[in-house]
Structures are given as C-alpha cells and as structure tokens.
Amino acid sequence: MNLRPRPRPAPAWLLVLRRLLWPGTDRVRNRTFLRDRLVALPLLAVVAFTTLGWAYADVREDSAYIRTQLAPALGDLADARISLRIAQREAEVSLDAGNAVELSGLGPRYAARTGAAAQDIARLSRGGAFTEAQRQELDVVSGLIDGYEEWIAWARTNVTDTSLRRAGLAYAQSMLCAYTAPGPATDRHAPYPPCGAARGSDATTVVDRIAALEDELRDRLADRAALGPGVLTAVAVSLLAFVLLAVGLWRTLVFLRRRMRIRVSVPLIAAALPLLLVPWVVADGVRAWQAQRDAVPYARVLAHEASPAVEVALDDDPLAAPAPTAIRPATARMERTVARGRFGGVGSLAGWVAPAGLLAGGVLAGALHAYRREYLVVGRGGGT
C-alpha cells in the first residue's frame, strides 16, 4: 500500500501565467499558442520598455538637476559663506587703522565681497534648487547680511571712539559667525579662526545658517546620486520582462517556421529592432549614475575644504593656477563631471524608450492577430 501523499496541483493562476510566459511548442495547439502569444508578447514589450524608460528618464532627470541646480547652488552657498568671512577680515583690518578709514574707506575687497554674497543669495532665491521653507531661510539670511552691513557702517561712523567702534565690530562679528578665537585681526593674511558649527535651532549666525543649507543640499545630492528603490525595482522588472520578451520572440519565430511554414516574419523582426538599443540605453544610464556619484566628493570639498585663505590668494593673483579647493573651479568640475556622464547621443532617447515599447507592442499585436486570423480561416474545417 502506497502511503506517500500525492503532490498538490499548482494553482490555476500559476499555470496560466506559466503558459503565457513560458509555453511549450511541441504539444500545444496552434490556435492556443497564437492566442497566448497575442496576449503575452505585446504586454511584455510594453512593460519592459515602459519600466526601462521610466528608470532611464529618472536617472537622466537627476543628472540634469544636479548639473543645472544643485551644483551651482552649492557653489553659490560656499561663495557667500566665504565672501562674508573675507569681508569681515577686511572690515577688521580697515577699522583697526582708526581715522585713516574715514579717508580710505573699508576697501574695495569689502564692498566686492559683501556685494558678491548678496548677489549669491539673491540668485539662490530665484533658482529652483530650494524648497519654499529653504527660500524663507534665504530671506532671513539676506536680512541678516543687511543688518551686518549696517553694524559695520555704524562702527565706521564711530571709528574715532574706540569703545563704540569695537562694540559695533563685535556685534557684527557675532551676527556673522561664532569665532572660536576672540579679537579682531590686524593683518589681512593672518590665519582665519575656525567658525562655529551650530545646526538646527542653534544655527543663529549667518554662516551657520548658510552651512545648514549646504548640509541639506549635500544630502539631496547624495539622494539623487543613489539609485532609489523605485528605480531598482523598475530595472529588475524591466530586465525580467526583456529576457522573457527576447525568448518569447525567438520561440514564436521558431513556431511560425515549423508549424505555419513562415520562414521570416518581417513584422516580428521589425518589432524586435528596438531591443538593439537597450544595451546602449543601459550603458548610458549606468554611466550617468556613475558620474553623479563622482560629483558627490566635490560637494564635500566646497563645504569642508574651501577656505577664505584660498579665495584671498586667488584674488591677489587671478592669473595663478587655482587650488583644487577653490570654489568656482570645484563647482565647474562638478558640473563637467555630471555633463560627461553621457554615452554619445543616447541621452536624447530618454523620452522615446517608452513610446518605442508601445510601438513594438502594437506591431506585435497586429502581426500575431493577423497570423491567428489567417490560421483560423485556413484551418476552419478542422485545424488544430
């Protein structure tokens, strides 16, 4: 007596799915095979190309956003932060000269740097890299810069009174940055003291607020440069659908040749031509993603390695080769790195991948419907 349990039959939906995705070609009836292929192949083409097109367009959109929005915004934030620290040093040295500042003023570098910082903030407010809350924070920064300049002007007005001059300069300095080394500098080329690094609700100074915005943009850059779960899922679904589509097309061509004596199916071969572009699209997407990752270190350079000393040296000798940590060259290299993440002219195909899948699916549906209809007409009197 055989007591072994009988194997449980597979669910009906699983059998239907297997028949559609991986049908046999030996014992299946002709009309059944053509009907199943009429459903499966167009559907696989649409799913494969649509998911690939969505993932590819998402990667390309991230590259464009990083190059045109995030990179310039990070450069402007770093430039505003460094420019204000240079302006503070110029104000300290000029006001230390006492009565001479009434004749010579605070110097052209002070005016140039405060003006550059104001222009950077205004340009950032008009750009598309920030949310509404971040734009409001930029408005606060702009107002603090105006207040800072007013206190510097007040200190200059009272330059003959040492106590008032120092009080105005100290208050302006406290608005700008919480320096760890107290006391104004008397030398333009003296080392710049470290600035405080408060974040969140403790970020009250201008430099801290700008640095907090830089942190948020760097986090956004890292998120954009990483493949999210949606893109990874779309790539996996697209890869599986393309494999099933390629195998299904090949098996269908073999079936048509053996059963219906059709040596070459021109419509099916035409529908398979867009598959030749898939490796190029994938290679271009991978290259764009790698370029995005290569741009991330430049954001860290702008935030942690750019310094007032480097920018002052570049001001003193504009023809000298800029240091790797200079703000504008680092920003330009970030933009060029992302821009180089293109594989020829394939990037222009991002918007055509999904329509190509719809077109291929339509061609497949039309061709298989014609073959099935022809077979049913011919075999109406007893075809298999």
What pLDDT is stored for residue 314 in this prediction?
A: 86
Contacts with 304 (C-beta within 8 Å, 6 or more apart), sequence order: none
pLDDT in tens, 86-95: 999 888 888 8
The C-alpha atoms of residue 314 and residue 323 are separated, in whole angstroms, by 8
pLDDT-flagged residues of the chain (< 70): 1-28, 98-105, 180-184, 196-198, 200-202, 343-350, 374-384
Q: What residues form DSSP beta bridges with 179?
A: 195
Tell me the three-class secondary structure of the chain, residue by residue.
CCCCCCCCCCCHHHHHHHHHHCCCCCCCCHHHHHHHHHHHHHHHHHHHHHHHHHHHHHHHHHHHHHHHHHHHHHHHHHHHHHHHHHHHHHHHHHHHCCCHHHHHCCCHHHHHHHHHHHHHHHHHHHCCCCCHHHHHHHHHHHHHHHHHHHHHHHHHHCCCCHHHHHHHHHHHHHHHCCECCCCCCCCCCCCCCCECCCCHHHCCCHHHHHHHHHHHHHHHHHHHHCCCHHHHHHHHHHHHHHHHHHHHHHHHHHHHHHHCCCCCCHHHHHHHHHHHHHHHHHHHHHHHHHHHHHHHHHHHHHHHHCCHHHHHHHHHCCCCCCCCCCHHHHHHHHHHHHHCCCCCCHHHHHHHHHHHHHHHHHHHHHHHHHHHHHHHHHCCCCCC
What pLDDT is stored for residue 26 in this prediction?
A: 52
The C-alpha atoms of residue 34 and residue 257 are separated, in whole angstroms, by 13
Q: Are 39 and 20 a contacting pair, CB within 8 Å?
A: yes
Q: Is residue 303 part of a domain?
A: yes
What pLDDT is stored for residue 180 in this prediction?
A: 65
Q: Is residue 16 part of a domain?
A: no
What pLDDT is stored for residue 224 in this prediction?
A: 93
Q: Are 292 and 63 a contacting pair, CB within 8 Å?
A: yes
Q: Are 265 and 367 a contacting pair, CB within 8 Å?
A: yes
What pLDDT is stored for residue 14 in this prediction?
A: 46
Q: Is residue 38 part of a domain?
A: yes
Which one, of 161, 113, 133, lies nearest residue 314 by Cα? Answer: 113
Q: Is residue 3 part of a domain?
A: no
Dmax over Cα atoms in the chain, in whole Å? 116
What pLDDT is stored for residue 134 in this prediction?
A: 92
Q: Is residue 5 part of a domain?
A: no
- Compute how many other C-beta atoms are within 10 angstroms of the C-beta atom of residue 277: 15
Give the total residue count for the chain.
384
Whole-Å CA distances, 358 to 240, 241, 274, 355: 18, 14, 11, 5
Strands, E, within the chain: which ranges? Answer: none
Q: Is residue 10 part of a domain?
A: no
- Number of domains the chain is built from: 1
What radius of gyration do the chain's Cα atoms show? 33
What pLDDT is stored for residue 381 in this prediction?
A: 47
Q: What residues form DSSP beta bridges with 195?
A: 179
Q: Is residue 19 part of a domain?
A: no
What pLDDT is stored for residue 223 in this prediction?
A: 94
**CA triplet 24, 30, 34: central angle to 5 degrees?**
80
Containing domain of residue 270, as a range?
28-375
Instruction: Indicate the Cα dihedral angle 199, 217, 125, 339, nearest 10°.
Output: 160
The C-alpha atoms of residue 112 and residue 127 are separated, in whole angstroms, by 22
Q: Is residue 69 part of a domain?
A: yes
